Chains A and B, each alone.
Chain A
Amino acid sequence: MLVDALTALQDWAPAAWLRHARWTYAAVNTAHITGIALLFGAIIPLDLRLIGWRREFPIRVLARVLLPVAVAGFCLAVTAGFFLFSVRAVEYAGLRLFWVKIALIVCALTNAWLLHHALQWEAAQGDVGVTPPPSLRMAGALSIALWLSVIVCGRMLAFVD
């Protein structure tokens, strides 16, 4: 059943067209990488602040600047990623590494969601010069580790069969 859905996806006209496109395929690749760059580049400074780096800046200030960029980057990466996947849906879905990557993305999003809804997150918004609580430090470190793992898995997808 999953195979039927995946076959339908890669037979879908835009996917079939993209499979034989030269510059559009390259452009979608570029969009995927740009999305990753925005997400990772924006989330790492915030994660480091949560761990305790540069604690002279309140989390609120950094989050207002960095979170929208990270969210936009994530949306771009997912959209472009969907199209890259659609070109060879059955093949990618057959790779264990692909599902490891998806699982890691789910973990990273869960970590972000839990952090955002934690009481400690609210309480620490305006803190300056104090060591963040352990739960925030943990969430920050976990975020870095998870997103880094997602990137490693994604890149390695091109090198396995």
Chain B
Amino acid sequence: MTQNSTHKIVEIAYLFADIQNHVCALSASDSQIVYLFFVDRLTATDISYICELGSAKVYHIISKFLAKLLSESVRFRASVSLPGRPTGKLCVFREKTYTTDLEDQVSALMTNGQIEDHLMARVIDLVGTAIDIGTPAAPAQLHARIIAEIFGGEPHRRGYVLHNVLSRKP
């Protein structure tokens, strides 16, 4: 591994830690909305149904989180823009406005679907991966336990085999 690639890995680790810190600072209800949006990639309509909140409130929570992340994390800002030149509207707004304005702008952009697809996809990818990595792993026997609880008795061997085959990474 070259020194350059080691440096990149360390940078990504710091970026993920930055994002995880911001998620940890959220309240329990806000963090579940952020999880559903970034990790499970559900739409605001689905999230509003699940969490019994209005879509506007869901957009507000997500944009508040993004605005805070953009304002406070230099690494995150750098990762969603080209070196020296911000590519997306999110970063342009960060350069021009204060945090409160930024929050409104991000919210408006998200609601109207005006954020460029490639930028939003990159943001969702980064934040989703960081949160996913920070989430505790489920114990391996939980799947078997759930099946045993539902159908009673020991889970069928084929269930185990199927699970092992499918969970094996290529």
Same complex origin of A and B: no
Chain A interface residues (CB < 8 Å from chain B):
none
Interface set of B (CB-CB < 8 Å, partner A)? none
